[in-house]
């Protein structure tokens, strides 16, 4: 079984994507509260994997401490590469890049020095395919700590729903845990 977990709340005054923003104090508390569901390791988690972006790393480190397991970081499960927009203050974004939202991009249109929705989808699709294959060979269950956009893509794939950047099909709250079931 694979479990997905979104990182805790991060800085809402800056754009996310490939930013290096860490968790807010509230985000840390969200993750600690989520760890309560891991009490007695009822999910039999024996492996923790995480995106290598700061907010996911901090989340995984808290879970690691809770479960006493090491974390393997996987850059393939980073959020959308928003290039020049990563981590900039939202006020600056509104002035310099008005209307340049992920949902406004055409399928093959890239963020400045970033990736397109198509490239993001293909990266996550390939990473997920490989991850599922590797996870099947593991002893015990795996937890993957990642981002809302990545989880949306994975859940579309697993549900057999066409992914589009024009609509978020599966919303996930900060520090929410999703059980993907037996793989």
User: For the domain that residue 41 is a member of, what is the CATH number?
Assistant: 3.40.50.1240
Domain coverage including residue 21:
2-179
Pairing of strands 71-73, 141-146: unpaired
Global pTM reads 0.95
Q: What is the pLDDT along the chain (183 residues), one digit of tens a residue?
A: 999 999 999 988 999 999 999 999 999 999 999 999 888 778 889 999 999 999 999 999 999 999 999 999 999 999 999 999 999 999 999 999 999 999 999 999 999 999 999 999 999 999 999 999 999 899 989 999 999 999 999 999 999 999 999 999 999 999 999 999 654
**Catalytic pick among 9, 47, 58, 79:** 79
Active site residue 79: yes
Sheet holding 71-73, edge to edge: 71-73, 45-50, 141-146, 2-6, 177-179
**Catalytic pick among 7, 9, 58, 147:** 7
As for how many domains the chain has, the answer is: 1
Active site residue 47: no
Return the DSSP state at 107.
T
């Amino acid at each position: 079984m694979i479990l997905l977990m979104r990182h805790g709340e991060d800085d809402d005054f800056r754009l996310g994507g490939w930013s290096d923003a860490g968790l807010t104090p509230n985000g840390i508390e969200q993750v600690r509260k989520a760890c309560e569901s891991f009490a007695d390791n009822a999910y039999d988690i024996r492996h923790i994997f995480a995106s290598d972006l700061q907010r996911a790393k901090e989340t995984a480190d808290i879970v690691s401490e809770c479960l006493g397991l090491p974390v393997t970081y996987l850059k393939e499960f980073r959020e959308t590469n928003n290039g020049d927009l990563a981590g900039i203050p939202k006020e600056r974004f509104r002035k310099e890049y008005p209307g340049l939202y992920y949902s406004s991009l055409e399928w093959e249109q890239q963020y400045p020095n970033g990736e397109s929705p198509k490239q993001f989808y293909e990266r996550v699709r390939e990473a997920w395919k490989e991850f599922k294959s590797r996870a099947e060979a593991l002893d015990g269950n795996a937890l993957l700590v990642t981002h809302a956009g990545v989880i949306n893509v994975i859940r579309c794939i697993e549900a057999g729903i066409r992914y589009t950047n024009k609509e978020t099909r599966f919303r996930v709250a900060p520090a929410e845990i999703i059980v993907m079931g037996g793989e």
